[in-house]
Copies of this chain bind each other. A is one copy, B any other.
């Protein structure tokens, strides 16, 4: 895989920024509370993206359920999918029961370790636990070795996970493509592990984020970022840390509509194809 640090650019349109997310690519996205690019997700569905290998680090909610329901996902790799307090993820559950997607069940720290392996440019990362879990039986890519530093000490090795594209939503980016991610540091690991990183942000910060030490400490350098698009409330209806909370009323409406294929189709018409953003 190539890692080409291109000059990060602020794109004129969201669709332009999302161009590298092609049918069949491996796409990495973060957990609900870390900044999910929902406006971008709706744009991808409008564009009709197909056969995605979606990797949610380490879990997912609405974003994954929406993409599954829209038929955009061939393979899903994550540790859990639900709507949190709003109940089960209806399209995820339906797809699993119908065998409509290939599920690669993981566990949170395993996914973190696999991204860290890619970040470090090593082929694998060890992890405790896992042995005796049925997850192992269904993940032939996870291996058990005898710890060379121990004595009869089995330990699991997990292969590096190198997504083609990482996609998330953040509060700020500057003109150099530096992105403020604050405490959501798994976004940094995602960007380091992925060949390309695409970010939507609430707004453009007009001064260099790296110049101010306070901002710099929570900034992903533009060096790792291929494209940035501005999308106000781009995580809606999901929360954006320190900016806005989850839209509980909307989540309840989604849970209700997505319970049936017909209701889900209505949801898509109303909130995705109608380009309604908020």
Contact = CB atoms under 8 A, between A and B. Distances in A.
Interface string A145-170: 10111100101010100000000000
A182 interface: yes
Contacts of A241: 213
On chain A, which size bracket covers the interface?
20 to 34
A181 B125 CA distance: 27
A71 interface: no
Contact of A143 (B116, B120, B149): B149
Interface in A214-257: 214-218, 241-242
A141 to B, nearest CB: 8
A123 interface: yes
A109 to B, nearest CB: 8
A124 interface: yes
Copies in the complex: 2
A106 B159 CA distance: 26
A217 B182 contact: yes
A270 interface: no
B143 A123 contact: no
A263 interface: no
B126 A124 contact: yes
Nearest to A113: B120
A216 B183 contact: yes
Contacts of A145: 145, 148
A12 interface: no
A157 B145 CA distance: 13
A149 B155 contact: no
A276 interface: no
A65 B241 CA distance: 45
A216 B213 CA distance: 13
Interface string A251-277: 000000000000000000000000000
Contact of A123 (B125, B126, B213, B218): B126
Interface string A202-218: 00000000000111111
5 contacts: A123-B149, A145-B145, A214-B215, A217-B217, A217-B218
The 6 closest A-B pairs by CB, nearest first: A217-B218, A182-B217, A122-B126, A213-B242, A214-B214, A123-B149
Given A122-B125, A122-B126, 16 more contacts: A120-B125, A121-B128, A123-B126, A124-B126, A124-B149, A125-B126, A143-B148, A145-B145, A149-B159, A182-B213, A182-B216, A182-B217, A183-B213, A183-B216, A217-B217, A218-B218
